[in-house]
């Protein structure tokens, strides 16, 4: 079985996995990094969102063999102590309900804000529309992204 | 109006205390029943036994309070609001309270079999009494040390004071307090003195959620476990004839392929390999009878509605006579599809079945019942079966059913290994326990411009409305009133889905009254208020909604939403409903963008009694309203030859952030015990939107999802 060297959250990890294994399952099952969630497996829900070289990517669709030496960031790498302004905003607004989708939401939001630090409401709604929240915490996600933007500027 | 009273508890019977070996005091209690006389409160925190008690409070000698609760959390914030009740009466600062949920912390918990769903409504009194009792014991201990009368002592945020100005922290007297008798006759705080109840508290798990810590069932792992993915019959009504696992077994990492009943489990080293193994299985399915289709269901339900075979759930006056004497009869039919739950976290469960015990871990709303069913299935002594609960990535009713726990128990037994069962989204949507498709026919008789009779007929799949639902509004408001139900038994599995029955019934009724107001040419708010007048003073025990409380939410909704005073181009729709003991009114504001109706805002007025945690409560309310709109607009689910036609989010549409209105919430101030919030704001949402669409476009919607049934007439979204 092939061996891969992955750069995740600034550290390097060696894993043995079938080449077609989605990065999602490598993270969850092989590396015990279970913050990245499984929701649909087909790129529709955003629960599995991570960053690849800083851009939001669906890890359920990315095969481990295609990662190469690109930098992977997962929810565990945003900050360990919830001190990142996005996490702070999430906390202030008290976004989560069941919480399951929230890692993916946070990863989409951080990638988005790094490209657009002063977004309008409708830009936020468009940017976050790839992430489903079945509990419909959408009003708060919108507010938290706005708040994070103001914290970061 | 009748309030459901919590049964009163004898504190002696449901609370026991002990001094902990490592220091501190432990209060062990059982929320909904008396402790067994022989139940011994633990003296070591590693020995918490959730068989004899269902929650514990530890007061450490530094005054810190830890609440150990095996309470399931399905996103309703109960895990936050329940400890708030304890902390309030115990009189400690909320910052000094920590909540530990048993699951996932196997070191600290021996066994956890927690009893059923413990809602805030049922916990309201016993949780406060537990806190107040512990506080009194601490006071008694301090008073004894000072040699003063306990009634001269007061507390403030974990500090006890006496009339001389002496002070002692809770932590300083825990040792003595633990050995005192549990006192009787505790007075609870007057709601106006609440400090914690009614103030905002964050979700207690928020830090773990936003940093990606393992919390959910899908995150649960144990050394030596294997992953299982199951092939189930693709169509309801199929049975497994035979299958070929040659290719599946050839995949490196696939450990085993095991048939159980009509299902086949693939066991592998990781989830992905198990999923690949399942795809490689070749199976032949058969069926004895004709398989079901959505068109067939439509016809069957329509025939039922037009037929004569009904069960009467409530009958007042003489509906037949009222209709015979009417000037006019209005009759409308409302139709809804099946709906999957689609919890964000797909179903999953862990089991380790050995000769000695059966250990189950995962997200479940009914741990006790599931433990019992697993024991029956495996023919084991129920004492040997334990269920540990994890956080749940959504429930919506789906996790009331332990089907997945039964599956994994059986697989683990056959494989003789610890097994983690994972559903793919396709498995989750395809092997659901769906909200049944339902049709309502509502008729009203009108005489001299008054509603004289009301006849509601329900045709549903597998089961019908139950409990007090037939006694909800407008029961009691119309002299001649009847509710009849009929059902058709299907092979498609159905069950509870967020706000069972009322999730669609409310749409039907609140749309019907809106239309009646148009037909009668009366103000739509006034029509509802006038009907409520007639319920006042009604002594019928079955009528549990309060006309006064419903009237109040309606009036506040009119005021807060600017009803009738909106700017040009904003169209409003009204809806008010009572269910789950909570009274709600909603106003939807719709605008036309390129002639397409878009919901911009929903004003939601809620009377749920005392609001324990407004921050969490509003989250529930926003979620319920948007969920209600999302499913009314887009939720569609059909069957062809017994097979669900949607399997994943590429074709099954859930509402997304760019389609959501802003939800503005207002609470009615109250000193009545709190009632449910997870469900009651969902049912009125569909009608509020449909009534607003009627105002905007002149189109009246009778079927869900709106998107499908508006398309023919005008595009939507
Ligand atoms: S799990 Fe990857 S997008 Fe849904
Ligand atoms: S918080 Fe439950 S899915 Fe988003």
Closest ligand to B345 CA? 2
Question: Are the CB atoms for B72 and B117 separated by under 8 Å?
Answer: yes
Q: So what's the pLDDT on residue B52?
A: 66
Q: What is the DSSP letter of B496?
A: -
Interface contact flag, B648 A41, Cβ < 8 Å? yes
A74 sits in which H/E element: none
Shortest CA gap A141–chain B (Å):
8
Q: What is the CATH number of the domain that holds A117?
A: 1.10.150.120
User: Domain B11-211 belongs to what topology?
Assistant: Aldehyde Oxidoreductase; domain 4 (3.30.365)
End position of a domain, from candidates A45, A77, A109: A77
B333 sits in which H/E element: strand B328-336
Residue carrying structure tokens 């599956």 = B407
Based on the fold, state whether residues A7 and A68 are members of the same structural domain.
yes
Q: Is 80 exceeded by the pLDDT of residue A111? A: yes
Interface contact flag, B211 A75, Cβ < 8 Å? yes
Nearest to B98 by CA among B56, B54, B126: B56
Give the C-alpha separation, B586 to B599, whole Å. 13
Mean residue pLDDT of chain A comes to: 97
Our answer on whether the CB atom of B250 is closer than 6 Å to any ligand 2 atom is no
Based on the fold, state whether residues A61 and A93 are members of the same structural domain.
no
Question: Are the CB atoms for B531 and B493 separated by under 8 Å?
Answer: no
Neighbours of B570 (CB within 10 A): 17
Which option is the CATH number for B438-709: 3.30.365.10, 1.10.3720.10, 3.40.50.620, 1.20.140.10?
A: 3.30.365.10
Q: State the distance from the centre of ligand 2 to the C-alpha of A132, rounded, in angstroms.
A: 8
Q: So what's the pLDDT on residue B205?
A: 87
Based on the fold, state whether residues A92 and A38 are members of the same structural domain.
no
Question: What percentage of residues in chain B have a pLDDT greater than 90?
Answer: 76
Give the C-alpha separation, B461 to B303, whole Å. 13
Based on the fold, state whether residues A19 and A69 are members of the same structural domain.
yes
Please tell me whether the overall predicted TM-score, pTM, comes out greater than 0.90 for this model. Answer: yes
Q: State the distance from the centre of ligand 2 to the C-alpha of B394, rounded, in angstroms.
A: 7
Question: Are the CB atoms for A48 and A37 separated by under 8 Å?
Answer: yes
Closest ligand to A98 CA? 2
Question: Are the CB atoms for B236 and B255 separated by under 8 Å?
Answer: no
Tell me which chain B residue has its CA closest to the CA of residue A125: B658
A38 touches chain B (CB under 8 A): yes
Asked if B217-288+347-422 and B438-709 have one fold, the answer is yes
In chain B, which among 350-409 make CB contacts under 8 A with chain A?
A: 391-396
DSSP string, B373-415: HHHHHTT--GGGEEEEEPB-S--TTGGG--HHHHHHHHHHHHH
Nearest to B531 by CA among B569, B483, B494, B481: B481
ipTM for this prediction:
0.98
Q: So what's the pLDDT on residue B77?
A: 66
Residues of A in contact with B214 (CB under 8 A): 34
Our answer on whether the CB atom of B206 is closer than 6 Å to any ligand 2 atom is no
Q: So what's the pLDDT on residue B55?
A: 76
B416 class by beta-carbon count within 10 Å (0-12 exposed, 13-18 middle, 19+ buried): exposed
Q: So what's the pLDDT on residue B184?
A: 83
* C-alpha B315 chain-centroid distance: 30
Q: State the distance from the centre of ligand 2 to the C-alpha of A133, rounded, in angstroms.
A: 5
Our answer on whether the CB atom of A38 is closer than 6 Å to any ligand 1 atom is yes
Give the C-alpha distances (Å, rounded to integers) separating B711 from B507, B633, B701, B717.
Answer: 19, 11, 11, 10
Closest ligand to A40 CA? 1
CATH class of B217-288+347-422: alpha beta
Query: Which whole number is the average pLDDT over B444-459?
Result: 98
Q: So what's the pLDDT on residue B100?
A: 77
Residue B273, phi then psi, degrees to nearest 5: -65, -40
Query: Which whole number is the average pLDDT over A34-52?
Result: 98
End position of a domain, from candidates A53, A77, A101: A77
Residues of A in contact with B394 (CB under 8 A): 98, 100, 134-135
- Compute the CA torsion angle B516, B521, B525, B526 (nearest 10 deg): -110
Give the C-alpha separation, B102 to A97, whole Å. 20
Residues of B in contact with A44 (CB under 8 A): 648-650
Strand ranges inside B8-115, DSSP E: 15-19, 25-29, 48-49, 55-59, 65-69, 97-101, 109-111
Based on the fold, state whether residues A34 and A56 are members of the same structural domain.
yes
Q: So what's the pLDDT on residue B706?
A: 96
In chain A, which among 39-98 make CB contacts under 8 A with chain B?
A: 39-42, 44-45, 47, 74-76, 78-82, 87, 90-91, 94, 96-98
Residue carrying structure tokens 């921050």 = B615
Based on the fold, state whether residues A60 and A117 are members of the same structural domain.
no
Interface contact flag, A139 B663, Cβ < 8 Å? yes
How does pLDDT run across B648-667, given as a tens digit for each residue? 999 999 999 999 999 999 99
Q: So what's the pLDDT on residue B253?
A: 97
- The DSSP bridge partners found for residue B584 are B577, B606
Query: Measured on CA atoms in the order B353, B359, B361, B365, is the torsion positive or negative?
Result: positive
Residues of A in contact with B270 (CB under 8 A): 21, 25, 29-30
Based on the fold, state whether residues A67 and A92 are members of the same structural domain.
no
In chain A, which among 94-123 make CB contacts under 8 A with chain B?
A: 94, 96-103, 106, 122
Our answer on whether the CB atom of A99 is closer than 6 Å to any ligand 2 atom is yes
Task: For ligand 2, pick from A128, A137, A141 the residue to mutate: most ligand atoms within 8 Å of CB.
Answer: A137
Closest ligand to B76 CA? 2
Interface contact flag, B75 A135, Cβ < 8 Å? yes
Of B200, B271, B660, the CB nearest to A139: B660
Give the C-alpha separation, B176 to B179, whole Å. 6
Q: Which residues contact B44 (CB under 8 A, 6 or more apart)?
A: B20, B21, B22
Interface contact flag, B216 A133, Cβ < 8 Å? no
Query: Which whole number is the average pLDDT over B199-226?
Result: 93
B277 touches chain A (CB under 8 A): no
Q: State the distance from the centre of ligand 2 to the C-alpha of B620, rounded, in angstroms.
A: 11
Structure tokens at B621: 């309310």
Based on the fold, state whether residues A57 and A112 are members of the same structural domain.
no
Structure tokens at B72: 């399931």
Mean residue pLDDT of chain B comes to: 91
Q: What is the side-by-side strand order in the sheet with B450-461? A: B311-316, B480-488, B450-461, B438-447, B328-336
Interface contact flag, A136 B74, Cβ < 8 Å? no
Our answer on whether the CB atom of A98 is closer than 6 Å to any ligand 2 atom is yes
The stretches of B255-397 forming alpha helices (DSSP H) are 271-280, 294-306, 319-324, 367-377
Query: Measured on CA atoms in the order B102, B103, B104, B110, is the torsion positive or negative?
Result: positive
User: What's the length of chain A?
Assistant: 153
Interface contact flag, B425 A74, Cβ < 8 Å? no
Q: So what's the pLDDT on residue B112?
A: 35
Give the C-alpha separation, B485 to B487, whole Å. 7
How does pLDDT run across B569-620, given as a tens digit for each residue? 999 999 999 999 999 999 999 999 999 999 999 999 999 999 999 999 999 9
Which tops the pLDDT comparison, A121 or B14?
A121
End position of a domain, from candidates A27, A56, A77: A77
Based on the fold, state whether residues A58 and A12 are members of the same structural domain.
yes
Based on the fold, state whether residues A68 and A106 are members of the same structural domain.
no
Shortest CA gap A139–chain B (Å):
6
Q: What is the side-by-side strand order in the sheet with B662-667? A: B571-579, B582-593, B596-607, B662-667
How does pLDDT run across B98-126, given as a tens digit for each residue? 887 654 333 333 333 333 234 667 778 88
Query: Residue A31 sits in which domain range?
Result: 3-77
Question: Are the CB atoms for B222 and B354 separated by under 8 Å?
Answer: no
Q: State the distance from the centre of ligand 2 to the C-alpha of A49, rounded, in angstroms.
A: 14
Nearest to B364 by CA among B115, B119, B122, B654: B115
Q: State the distance from the centre of ligand 1 to the C-alpha of B649, rounded, in angstroms.
A: 10
Q: Is 70 exceeded by the pLDDT of residue B34? A: no
Shortest CA gap B276–chain A (Å):
10
Residue B659, phi then psi, degrees to nearest 5: -110, 10
How does pLDDT run across B367-413, given as a tens digit for each residue? 878 989 999 999 999 888 888 888 899 999 999 999 999 999 999 99
Query: Which whole number is the average pLDDT over A140-146?
Result: 98
Interface contact flag, B211 A101, Cβ < 8 Å? no
Domain count, chain A: 2
Q: Which residues contact B243 (CB under 8 A, 6 or more apart)?
A: B231, B259, B264, B281, B282, B283, B284
Structure tokens at A10: 């600034």
User: What's the length of chain B?
Assistant: 717
Q: What angle do CA A92, A94, A96 make, to 5 degrees?
A: 145
Least confident of B4-18, B133-147, B263-277: B4-18
Neighbours of B565 (CB within 10 A): 9
B228 touches chain A (CB under 8 A): no
Q: So what's the pLDDT on residue B64?
A: 92
Q: Is A129 helix (H, G, I), strand (E, B) or coil?
A: helix
Question: Are the CB atoms for B636 and B337 separated by under 8 Å?
Answer: yes
Q: Is 80 exceeded by the pLDDT of residue B30? A: no
Question: Are the CB atoms for B603 and B563 separated by under 8 Å?
Answer: no
Nearest to B213 by CA among A33, A102, A105, A60: A33
Interface contact flag, B205 A41, Cβ < 8 Å? no
Give the C-alpha distances (Å, rounded to integers) separating B259 from B230, B348, B409, B424.
Answer: 9, 19, 14, 19
Tell me which chain A residue has its CA closest to the CA of residue B429: A40
Based on the fold, state whether residues A130 and A64 are members of the same structural domain.
no
B279 touches chain A (CB under 8 A): no
Residues of A in contact with B652 (CB under 8 A): none
Shortest CA gap B218–chain A (Å):
8
Residue minimizing CA distance to atom 3 of ligand 1:
A43
- Spans of all domains in chain B: 11-211, 217-288+347-422, 438-709
Give the C-alpha separation, B506 to B489, whole Å. 24
Residues of B in contact with A128 (CB under 8 A): 657-658
pLDDT band for B20, please (50, 70, 90 cuts). Answer: confident
Question: Are the CB atoms for A77 and A86 separated by under 8 Å?
Answer: no
- Compute the CA torsion angle B250, B251, B253, B259 (nearest 10 deg): -70
Q: State the distance from the centre of ligand 1 to the C-alpha of A103, rounded, in angstroms.
A: 12
Half-sphere exposure of B359 (CA within 13 A, CB side): 18
Based on the fold, state whether residues A66 and A39 are members of the same structural domain.
yes
Q: What is the CATH number of the domain that holds A18?
A: 3.10.20.30
Directed axis angle between helix B120-146 and helix B78-90, to 10°?
A: 30
pLDDT band for B3, please (50, 70, 90 cuts). Answer: very low
Q: What angle do CA B138, B144, B147 make, to 5 degrees?
A: 140
Half-sphere exposure of B50 (CA within 13 A, CB side): 26
Residues of B in contact with A106 (CB under 8 A): 210
Interface contact flag, B273 A125, Cβ < 8 Å? no
Our answer on whether the CB atom of A103 is closer than 6 Å to any ligand 1 atom is no
Shortest CA gap B664–chain A (Å):
10
Structure tokens at B225: 């476990």
Interface contact flag, A91 B206, Cβ < 8 Å? yes
């Amino acid at each position: 079985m092939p061996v891969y060297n992955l750069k995740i959250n600034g550290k390097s990890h060696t894993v043995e996995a079938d080449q077609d294994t989605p990065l999602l399952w490598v993270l969850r099952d092989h590396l015990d990094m279970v913050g990245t969630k499984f929701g649909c497996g087909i790129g529709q829900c955003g629960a599995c969102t991570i960053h690849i070289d800083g851009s939001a990517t669906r890890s359920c669709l990315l095969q481990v063999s295609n990662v190469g030496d690109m930098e992977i960031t997962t929810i565990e790498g945003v900050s360990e102590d919830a001190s990142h302004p996005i996490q702070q905003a999430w906390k202030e607004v008290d976004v989560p309900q069941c919480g399951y989708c929230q890692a993916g939401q946070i990863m989409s939001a951080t990638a988005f804000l790094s490209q657009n630090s002063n977004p309008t409401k409708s830009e936020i709604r468009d940017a976050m529309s790839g992430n489903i929240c079945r509990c419909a915490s959408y009003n708060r996600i919108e507010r938290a992204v706005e708040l994070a933007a103001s914290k970061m500027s | 109006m009748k309030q459901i009273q919590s049964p009163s508890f004898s504190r002696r019977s449901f609370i026991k205390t002990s001094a902990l070996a490592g220091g501190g005091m432990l209060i062990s209690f059982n929320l909904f029943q008396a402790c067994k006389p022989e139940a011994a409160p633990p003296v070591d925190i590693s020995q918490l036994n959730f068989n004899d008690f269902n929650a514990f409070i530890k007061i450490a000698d530094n005054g810190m309070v830890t609440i150990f609760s095996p309470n399931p959390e399905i996103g309703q914030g109960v895990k936050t609001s329940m400890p708030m009740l304890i902390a309030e009466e115990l009189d400690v600062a909320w910052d000094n309270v920590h909540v530990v949920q048993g699951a996932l912390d196997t070191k600290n918990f021996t066994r956890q079999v927690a009893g059923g769903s413990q809602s805030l409504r049922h916990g309201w009194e016993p949780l406060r009494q537990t806190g107040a009792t512990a506080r009194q014991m601490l006071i008694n201990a301090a008073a004894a040390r000072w040699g003063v009368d306990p009634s001269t002592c007061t507390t403030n945020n974990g500090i006890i004071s006496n009339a001389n100005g002496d002070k002692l922290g809770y932590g300083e007297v825990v040792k003595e307090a633990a050995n005192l008798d549990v006192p009787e006759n505790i007075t609870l705080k007057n709601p106006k003195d609440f400090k914690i109840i009614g103030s905002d508290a964050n979700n207690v798990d928020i830090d773990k959620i936003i940093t990606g810590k393992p919390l959910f069932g899908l995150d649960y792992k144990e050394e030596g476990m294997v992953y299982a993915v199951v092939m189930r019959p693709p169509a309801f009504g199929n049975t497994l004839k035979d299958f070929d696992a040659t290719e599946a077994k050839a995949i490196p990492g696939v450990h085993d392929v095991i048939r159980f009943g009509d299902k086949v489990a693939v066991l592998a080293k990781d989830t992905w390999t198990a999923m690949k193994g399942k795809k490689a299985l070749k199976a032949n399915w058969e069926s004895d009878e004709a398989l079901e289709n959505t068109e067939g269901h439509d016809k069957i339900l329509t025939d039922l509605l037009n037929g004569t075979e009904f069960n009467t759930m409530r009958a007042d006056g003489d509906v037949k006579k009222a209709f015979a004497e009417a000037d006019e009869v209005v009759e409308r039919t409302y139709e809804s599809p099946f709906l999957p739950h689609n919890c964000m976290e797909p179903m999953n469960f862990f089991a380790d079945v050995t000769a000695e015990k059966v250990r189950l871990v995962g997200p479940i709303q009914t741990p006790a019942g599931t433990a019992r069913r697993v024991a029956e299935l495996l023919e084991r002594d129920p004492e040997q079966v334990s269920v540990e609960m994890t956080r749940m990535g959504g429930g919506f009713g789906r996790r009331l059913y332990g089907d997945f726990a039964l599956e994994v128990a059986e697989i683990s037994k056959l494989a003789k290994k610890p097994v983690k069962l994972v559903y793919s989204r396709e498995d989750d949507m395809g092997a659901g326990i769906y909200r049944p498709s339902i049709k309502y026919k509502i008729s009203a008789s009108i005489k001299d411009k008054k509603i004289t009779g009301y006849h509601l007929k329900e045709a549903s799949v597998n089961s019908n409305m139950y409990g007090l639902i037939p006694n909800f509004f407008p029961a009691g408001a119309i002299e001649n009133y009847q509710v009849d139900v009929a059902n058709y038994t299907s092979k498609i599995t159905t069950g509870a889905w967020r706000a069972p029955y009322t999730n669609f019934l409310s749409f039907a009724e609140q749309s019907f009254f809106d239309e009646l107001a148009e037909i009668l040419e009366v103000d739509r708010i006034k029509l509802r208020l006038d009907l409520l007048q007639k319920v006042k003073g009604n002594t019928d025990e079955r009528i549990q909604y309060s006309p006064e409380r419903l009237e109040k939410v309606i009036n506040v909704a009119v005021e807060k939403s600017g009803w009738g005073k909106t700017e040009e181009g904003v169209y409003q729709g009204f809806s008010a409903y009572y269910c789950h003991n909570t009274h709600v009114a909603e106003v939807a504001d719709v605008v036309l963008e390129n002639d397409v109706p878009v919901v911009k805002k929903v004003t939601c007025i809620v009377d749920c009694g005392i609001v324990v945690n407004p921050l969490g409560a509003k989250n529930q309310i926003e979620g319920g309203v948007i969920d209600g709109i999302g499913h009314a607009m887009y939720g569609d689910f059909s069957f062809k030859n017994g097979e669900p036609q949607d399997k994943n989010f590429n074709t099954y549409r859930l509402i997304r952030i760019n389609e959501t209105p802003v939800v503005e919430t207002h609470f009615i101030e109250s000193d009545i015990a709190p009632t449910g919030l997870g469900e009651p704001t969902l049912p009125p949402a569909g009608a509020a939107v449909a009534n607003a669409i009627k105002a905007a476009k002149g189109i009246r919607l009778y079927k869900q999802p709106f998107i499908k049934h508006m398309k023919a007439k005008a595009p939507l979204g």
